[in-house]
Amino acid sequence: MAERIRVRTREREELLDITGKVREVVRASGVSDGVVHLWALHTTCALTVNEGADPDVARDMVHALRRLVPQQGDYRHGEGNSDSHIKTSLFGPGLTLLVEDGELLLGTWQRVFLAEWDGPRTREIAVVVRG
């Protein structure tokens, strides 16, 4: 089953929890045991799994990436978002997660995040669930 998730980000840089949307697609697929593949259809946002219980973790990740790859730098790309492309490459545009008993298999504190590096924008993630 192939599906698309659309999300609207609010900030230039943020980690947005999309776990609920991914769970909906997995449940609707009817797959009992298998994998779910997620792919961000953009070059300036990424996907990651990390702790979702404490919102400070997502905040800390955004702030650490801002220090590691500042918005202003010795970049040649003319659109002014070179840092966003670099941050996306560091995280990666795709994830493969497990499905068990019809549910997205995550650890107790794990959540799925869209890592926005050039927002606010409407983003689209392709989702394929295979049994």
pLDDT for 78: 80
Three-state DSSP string of the chain: CEEEEEEECCCCCEEEECHHHHHHHHHHHCCCCEEEEEEECCCCEEEEEEECCCHHHHHHHHHHHHHHCCCCCCCCCCCCCHHHHHHHHHHCCEEEEEEECCEEECCCCEEEEEEECCCCCEEEEEEEEEC
- Per residue in 21-61, pLDDT (tens digit) is 999 999 999 999 999 999 999 999 999 999 999 999 999 99
State mean pLDDT over 88-113.
98
Q: Over 90: is that where the pLDDT of 2 sits?
A: no
Q: What is the CATH number of the domain that holds 43?
A: 2.60.120.460
> pTM for the full model?
0.95
pLDDT for 1: 60
Structural domains in the chain (count): 1
State mean pLDDT over 91-114.
98
> For residue 107, what are the domain limits?
2-130
